[in-house]
Structure formats: C-alpha cells, structure tokens
Amino acid sequence: MVNDFIFQFAESQDLFLNGMCYYFALILRERFGGEICYAPIDNHFIARIDDRLYDASGDVTDLYTVYVPWDEYIDIDPIHADRIIKSCILKVC
C-alpha cells in the first residue's frame, strides 16, 4: 500500500532523495500516519510507518539501523537540529 503510493512519485524520486527528503517523509506521515525520523549518519529523513521505514525509493527498512524520531532528535541535539532546519528543511531549491 505505501509502496504503491510511493511509486506514483517515481519521476520526482531524485528530488525527494536529494534535498527534499524531509518533505517526502512529511507527505508519507500525513497520508499513512507514523512519524518522521532522521538518520544522522546519512543526513536523511525517512518515515516510519508500522515499524517499516520509507523514503522516495520505497521500503528502506534494511538500509537504516541508526535513526531517531525527528521530534526526539530536536531535543537530543538542538544545535545540529537547528542547522538542519535552516540548511535543509527551510532551504529553497
């Protein structure tokens, strides 16, 4: 179900994997519930839905072992989170 939805964005996959990953995770969270997570090693946002991880390429559960719910990461490392917000989330492409 989630992968079928993601497939509709195949033509925009490059955009959502290179700079706009937060917004794709937001789309997935709004559509399917779950939460937005941040993978600090890869500097990448993913959506956790029903204990599976997704980004614009589909189910990436096997690719990410280190990730933190974004709401928690903001509290864990607020200085870095602020930089991510300014340089990634609020970035104009």
Map the chain to HEC letters.
CHHHHHHCCHHHHHHHHCCCHHHHHHHHHHHHCCEEEEECCCCEEEEEECCEEEECCEECHHHCCCCEEHHHHHHHCHHHHHHHHHHHHCCCC
Q: What pLDDT, on the 0 to 100 scale, is given for residue 87?
A: 87
Q: What pLDDT, on the 0 to 100 scale, is given for residue 92?
A: 62
Note the pTM of the prediction, 2 decimals.
0.91
Q: What pLDDT, on the 0 to 100 scale, is given for residue 30?
A: 97
Q: What pLDDT, on the 0 to 100 scale, is given for residue 91?
A: 74
Positions in the chain short of pLDDT 70: 92-93
Q: What pLDDT, on the 0 to 100 scale, is given for residue 93?
A: 55
